[in-house]
Amino acid sequence: MKNIIAVLLILTFAGFCTNENTSKIPSGVITYSALFTDEMSTDVSCYRIPALITAPDGTLIVAADERVESCADLRTNQNINIVIRRSSDNGVTWSECETVVNYPYGTSASDPSMIVDKETNVIFLFYNFMDHNKESGIYYLHVIKSQDNGKTWSEPENITSQITKSDWYSDFKFITSGRGIQTQTGTLLHTLVNLEKGLYLFGSRDHGKSWFLIDTPIRPADESKVVESVDGSWLINSRVNKGGMRYIHISEDYGNTWKTMSQPELADPGCNASLIRYTSVKDGFEKNRLLFSNANMENNRKNMTVRLSYDEGNNWTVGKTIYAGSAAYSSLTVMENEEIGLLFEKDNYKEIAFVRFSLQWVTNGEDRIEKAENK
């Protein structure tokens, strides 16, 4: 009976997606799944903007834009929904596609990103919103919450006034898609772009009851990712359009001031990437490791690559190519079994694919997970 009820609940979601596409599993990758494709529904133009997290119970949650009217971005697209899928077996099988944010035509939601609060087990899903009928060109910033590992979600909350300034009303502003972090002190932290003024951090110190803006613009930077270093400092890795490479920004005073450096070793065509912590000595592992994924080319969105850093993002390994063809936005997660999950756009936005693989595979057998006490 419980299973029947669960199926009926899933069917009540609007925008039910069908016909999961499958592709050949690349050599060395444990799992490959095409989770969102332009063939899933004749009513949808494309799926874009991947976001991926591991829920408190180990469930994988993927989110994306369901762009109905066209593949255009939020600024000119009057019908974009946010859809998710979930996996309870480390990405082997996935739930059907569920629409979690769906506004009437003329109002759109775009660019999903997530943060897991490990202290309260709440998942926050952020997105950018526009009402083309009443305030065309005006961006609002929303969040919804799940307290049951992504099975159900709260009503949207408009947090624009908390994390932007009053004179930003007509500015081109948006929360970066992908994911944010929770720091060692429990603060939720995420990145926000104002194309006219710079990159900013916003967050919450009370588990999402209220939100704040750190009013320090960071440049050069577009869509970015933030991680906390083991010493408590903050590291931002940024997209910079027409630069051909990534830039990093480091703050040792909780975002009040920043030191900026280019990273020529991280070629980038001006595209959203992913940066997460994989292991930390503070969590009992023998090494500090960061993971980074992006379209590893200076001028073209191709060659999806995953790299490792063993010195808190100052230097990176050559990396491993996940997909040499057309590839764009990506989102990484660490799975419950310590494997790595990656969700990325491929083949000129025709597909958003999920792959999972091991540390041994990424490093060609030169590194593997060990706890410090086992050495």
Looking up tokens 């490093």 gives: 363
* Segment 25-36 mean pLDDT: 80
> At 331, is the secondary structure helix, strand, or coil?
strand
- pLDDT category, 5, cuts 50, 70, 90? very low
**Residue 216 pLDDT level (bands cut at 50, 70, 90):** very high
Q: How far apart are CA 271 and CA 264, in angstroms?
A: 15
Q: What is the pLDDT of residues 127-184, one digit of tens each?
A: 999 999 999 999 999 999 999 999 999 999 999 999 999 999 999 999 999 999 999 9
Give the SS3 label for residue 372.
Answer: helix
Q: What is the mean pLDDT of residues 71-96?
A: 97
Instruction: Please state, in angstroms and rounded to a whole number, the distance separating the CA atoms of residues 298 and 310.
Output: 24
Tokens 């624009």 belong to residue: 160
Give the tens place of pLDDT for each residue, 282-292. 999 999 999 99
Tokens of 23: 């592709």
Average pLDDT over residues 320-331: 96
Beta strands 31-37; 80-87: pairing state: unpaired
The percent of residues in the chain predicted with pLDDT above 70, rounded, is 92
Whether 15 shows a pLDDT value over 50: the answer reads no
Q: What is the DSSP letter of 30?
A: S
**DSSP secondary structure string, 145-197?**
EESSTTSS-PPPEE-HHHHS-GGGTTS-EEEPSEE-EE-TTS-EEEEEEETTT
CA nearest to 298, candidates 325, 266, 330: 266
Say if residue 38's pLDDT is above 70: yes
CB count, 10 Å around CB of 221? Answer: 24
pLDDT at 16 over 60: no
Place of tokens 């933030």: 226
Three-state DSSP at 2 gives: helix
Across the beta sheet with 245-251, the strand order is: 224-228, 234-238, 245-251, 259-267
Question: What is the residue-averaged pLDDT of the chain?
Answer: 92
How distant, in Å, are the alpha carbons of 38, 119, 361 from that of 27? Answer: 25, 38, 10
Report the candidate in 334, 332, 330 with the shortest Cα–Cα distance to residue 285.
334
Q: Domains (ranges, CATH) in the chain? A: 219-367 (2.120.10.10)
pLDDT in tens, 306-321: 999 999 999 999 999 9
3 state SS of 232:
coil
114 closest CA partner among 140, 87, 82: 82
Sequence-distant (≥ 6) Cβ neighbours of residue 148 within 8 angstroms: none
Residue where the block lists tokens 């006219």 = 196
Instruction: Give the tokens for residue 130.
Output: 């526009």
286 phi, psi to nearest 5 deg: -80, -15
CA angle, residues 81, 152, 357, in degrees to nearest 5 = 80
Contact assessment for residue 125 and residue 112, using Cβ atoms and an 8 Å cutoff: yes
Q: Inform me whether the pLDDT recorded for 33 exceeds 60.
A: yes
- The confidence score (pLDDT) of residue 373 equals 66
As a whole number of angstroms, the distance between CA 199 and CA 185 comes to 23
Express each pLDDT in 242-292 by its tens digit: 999 999 999 999 999 999 999 999 999 999 999 999 999 999 999 999 999
